[in-house]
Amino acid sequence: MTTAEMTKKELKLSKMADNLESSPILVLSKAVNEKIAAGENVFNLTVGDFNPKIFPIPTALTEEIISAYNAGLTNYPPTGGLPELKQAISRYVKRKGNMEYSTSEVTVTGGARPLIYGVYQTLLDPGDTVLFPVPSWNNHYYSHLAHCKQQMIETTAENNFMITADDLRPHIQSANLLALCSPQNPSGTCFTKEQLEDICDLVLEENNRRGPNEKPVYVLYDQIYWILTHGDVEHVNPVLLRPEIKDYTINIDGISKAFAATGVRIGWATGPEKIISKLGVVITHMGAWAPKPEQSACAKYLDREDEVDEYLTEMKKKISDRLNAFYNGFKALRQEGFKVDAISPQAAMYLTIQLDLVGLTPQGSSKLTNPKEVNEFILSKAGMALVPFYGFGASDDSSWFRLSVGTTSMKMIDQCLAKLKVALDELS
């Protein structure tokens, strides 16, 4: 036996890692990128990201980041974030969202992801139950990483894919965490005031029912897209609607989406001091701080109120022009008799569209039998890359898809809709 043979072992992983599903979205993105690399003309509408050439970060933020590096701010940042950034965040959420959080109720990390991971770790024990709607973004991964049970509830187009108190009621007594997101990824839709009030009342009623030594139901409220509402849509937050729920609510936020700064990596959570301070410790052990120069730059930038407002007005206009162009295009195709539809865009850079094409047959090919085949047909014939809602946990037969405009120029939209029409025309 050679030495190499003697030492060869099966590389066993933890059960958690072994059972961690790979993301269908990443698999899809890989297929799309391969097509692009092979020179195919693909409209990549899959990513929850921005093309920096179309959506650059604010120039003033870039300048502040460079000067922070030049000033040598390259050692460890303090646990929970630079005090001046926490102060700036506290002012920013008050000014833009009317939310009152002191600096001890704010913690900063490298983007929003570590916060969500950290909240699960801070609040939940193995075997606890996380209640969340589907389609939704990544809750099944975070609950898996925290060894929790998952209670998923499928939402419907009738409610714009936003969960209601009636949907949640049968499950609330067994829940330890209710994970909500508004504006929601993937649907680009928001809770109405009434919908969210009813959910808050349900949570408060449940927490009043529980004994003093029982863990309450916590609410993780992911509002990373809240600044990006369109038209007359208003973002709502549990704490503003029902102040009593502040004790149980952790808000997730950051600059990734509002300022097209997904690669800059600044996220923050606001919530009760006890939870926020422990969350800061959990994050410290992960080393998932936001880079110090970016923190310093963000602190200075958020206080430049006029520049921030000017940037956000422009950002929102660019996104909503694109969403409306796609929305109108889908509605026009529907009027022409094609089996497609769209939900009026409310927020973020996502449009919910329907391709109800199962049962139809492309020329010279066999019948489309499921949404996966519909997706492949649209990609190959219209060059349109979308994410099916089943990629976000909806059922496999859901005919709804997410269309992201973060990498789209206005010119591309007409070309894309024209190609889609040709593809739809060949179905019988």
Ligand X SMILES: Cc1ncc(COP(=O)(O)O)c(C=O)c1O
**Which residues bind to ligand X, rule: CB under 6 A?**
48, 111-113, 137, 181, 185, 222, 224, 254, 256, 262, 267
Q: Which helix (H) or strand (E) holds 32?
A: helix 24-37
Q: Determine the angle formed by the axes of helices 113-123 and 273-286, rounding to 10 degrees.
A: 110
* Cβ-based nearer residue to ligand X, 142 or 330: 142
Task: Report in angstroms how near the CB of residue 266 gets to ligand X at its nearest.
Answer: 8
* Cβ-based nearer residue to ligand X, 97 or 111: 111
Query: Phi and psi dihedrals of 287, rounded to 5?
Result: 65, 30
* Cβ-based nearer residue to ligand X, 112 or 131: 112
* Cβ-based nearer residue to ligand X, 105 or 253: 253
Q: Are strands 267-270 and 384-385 parallel, antiparallel or unpaired?
A: unpaired
Strand, helix or coil at 249? strand
* Cβ-based nearer residue to ligand X, 204 or 387: 387
- State the Cα–Cα distance between residues 33 and 27, nearest whole angstrom: 10
Residue closest to ligand X, measured at CB: 111
Sheet holding 177-181, edge to edge: 106-109, 267-270, 249-254, 218-222, 177-181, 129-134, 149-154
Task: Report in angstroms how near the CB of residue 377 gets to ligand X at its nearest.
Answer: 27
- State the Cα–Cα distance between residues 352 and 83, nearest whole angstrom: 39
- State the Cα–Cα distance between residues 91 and 9, nearest whole angstrom: 56
Task: Report in angstroms how near the CB of residue 99 gets to ligand X at its nearest.
Answer: 18
CA angle 183, 107, 190 (to 5 degrees): 5
* Cβ-based nearer residue to ligand X, 111 or 271: 111
Task: Report in angstroms how near the CB of residue 407 gets to ligand X at its nearest.
Answer: 14
Cis ω on the peptide bond leading into residue 183 (within 30° of 0)?
yes
In the structure encoding, which two tokens stand for residue 371, read together?
């949404």
Query: Phi and psi dihedrals of 249, rounded to 5?
Result: -110, 135
In sequence order, the 6+-apart residues with CB closer than 8 A to the CB of 197 are 241, 242
* Cβ-based nearer residue to ligand X, 184 or 207: 184
* Cβ-based nearer residue to ligand X, 140 or 381: 140
The phi-psi region of residue 281 (left if phi > 0; otherwise alpha if psi is between -120 and 50; otherwise beta) is alpha
Task: Report in angstroms how near the CB of residue 49 gets to ligand X at its nearest.
Answer: 8
Task: Report in angstroms how near the CB of residue 350 gets to ligand X at its nearest.
Answer: 9
Task: Report in angstroms how near the CB of residue 145 gets to ligand X at its nearest.
Answer: 15
* Cβ-based nearer residue to ligand X, 311 or 338: 311
Cβ atoms of 183 and 226 closer than 8 Å: yes
Task: Report in angstroms how near the CB of residue 12 gets to ligand X at its nearest.
Answer: 30
Other beta carbons within 10 Å of 241: 17
**What one-letter code names the amino acid at 162?**
M
- State the Cα–Cα distance between residues 119 and 109, nearest whole angstrom: 12
Please give the full DSSP string across 303-314, using - where no structure is assigned.
T-HHHHHHHHHH
Task: Report in angstroms how near the CB of residue 5 gets to ligand X at its nearest.
Answer: 44
Task: Report in angstroms how near the CB of residue 178 gets to ligand X at its nearest.
Answer: 15
Closest CA to 416 of 381, 367, 370, 372: 381
Give 392's DSSP letter: G
* Cβ-based nearer residue to ligand X, 137 or 338: 137
